Amino acid sequence: MMETKSEAKDRFARFDRAFLRQIGMFQKPRRFKTQVSDEELLEDLERYREFALKLGCQDAKIIPASMVKVDERLRLKCRISVCHHYNNCINCPPHSPTAEEMARIVPKYRYALVIKRDVEPKEDFIDPKKEEDIARHYRKNMEIVGLIEAQAFSDGYYFAMGFAGGSCQHALCMMQPCNVLQGKRCRFVLKSRPAMEAVGIDVVDLATKLGWEVYPVRARPIPPEAFPCATTFGIVFVH
C-alpha cells in the first residue's frame, strides 16, 4: 500500500522551530556577499560546528575543502555488485552528480563542516531487523545536514551545499518509487540529499584523516558483537 503524503511527512524527524531558535539558529538573515574573509568564514563555521553538536552529532570538524578526496571508484561500488537504489533514485547514481563534476566543484570551496553521528544501538546498522532501523538514522543525518546548509544560506553563503549518507529513497521514501524519476515533484523537497559516496566523496578516507573509527558494518557473517561501533557522516561545503 502506498503511504499518503501526510504519513510521509509525519515520519520525517523534525526539530521543533522553537528549539532551533533557542539554540541560536535562524535568528535573522544576512545580505548575500561574494567576498568573505577567512576570519569571518571560520567564525561562522565554528557556530555551525556548535549547532551540529547541539543537534545531536557526537563530533563535527571544520576542514579545508582540499582535504576531501573524490574517487570515481565510489560510484562504481554502486554498480558492482549493484545496489538496489542504483538507477532508482534521483540522488543516487547514475543520476546524482558524477565524480568528475565533484572533482571540478570541490576545489571552488574553501572550507567544509564534517559531521559524525554514532548509531545507537549499533545493531540498527549492523544487524537490522527492519528497514526503519537503518532509515531513521539516515533520516536524522539528512535533517542535520539540511539545517546546517540552510543556516549557512541564511547567513549569506549562497553556494552552501550539503551531502548526507545513505539513499533518500530509503531514508525518506521508505523504498517507494522515486517521484522525480517519474516526472513528479519530490516528496521531500529541500530535505533529500545525495549521499557523500553517491557523488564520489571518499567518506572512509576523510573519516580516517579526522581520527574517526569506521568499520564495514553488515559485513556478514561477522557477528554483530564484533563491531565496536557504527556511524553516519555528512558534510556541508560553505564557501
Each residue's pLDDT, cut to its tens digit, for the chain (239 residues) gives 344 444 444 445 578 899 999 999 999 999 998 999 999 999 999 999 999 999 999 999 999 999 999 999 999 999 998 998 999 999 999 999 999 999 999 999 999 999 999 998 888 888 887 778 888 999 999 999 999 999 999 999 999 999 999 999 999 999 999 999 999 999 999 899 999 999 999 999 999 999 999 998 876 678 888 889 999 999 999 99
Cα gap 194→111, rounded to integer Å:
19
Q: How far is CA 105 from the centre of its chain?
A: 17
Residue 219 is predicted with a pLDDT of 65
Query: What pLDDT is attached to residue 7?
Result: 46
User: Is 83 exposed, middle or buried, given 0-12, 13-18 or 19+ CB atoms closer than 10 A?
Assistant: middle
pTM of this prediction exceeds 0.85: yes
Q: Is residue 95 within 8 Å of residue 139, measured between CB atoms?
A: no
User: Where do the structural domains in the chain lie, given as residue ranges?
Assistant: 34-237
* Whether 235 contacts 115, CB under 8 Å: yes
Length of the chain: 239
Return d(Cα 89, Cα 92) in angstroms, integer: 5
Identify the pLDDT of residue 198.
Answer: 96
To the nearest 10°, report the CA torsion of 53, 118, 190, 174. Answer: -160
pLDDT of residue 57: 97
82 beta partners: 79
Q: Tell me the sheet residues that pair with 118.
A: 231
Q: 115 with 62: CB under 8 angstroms?
A: no
How far is residue 233's CA from residue 115's CA, in Å, rounded to a whole number? 6
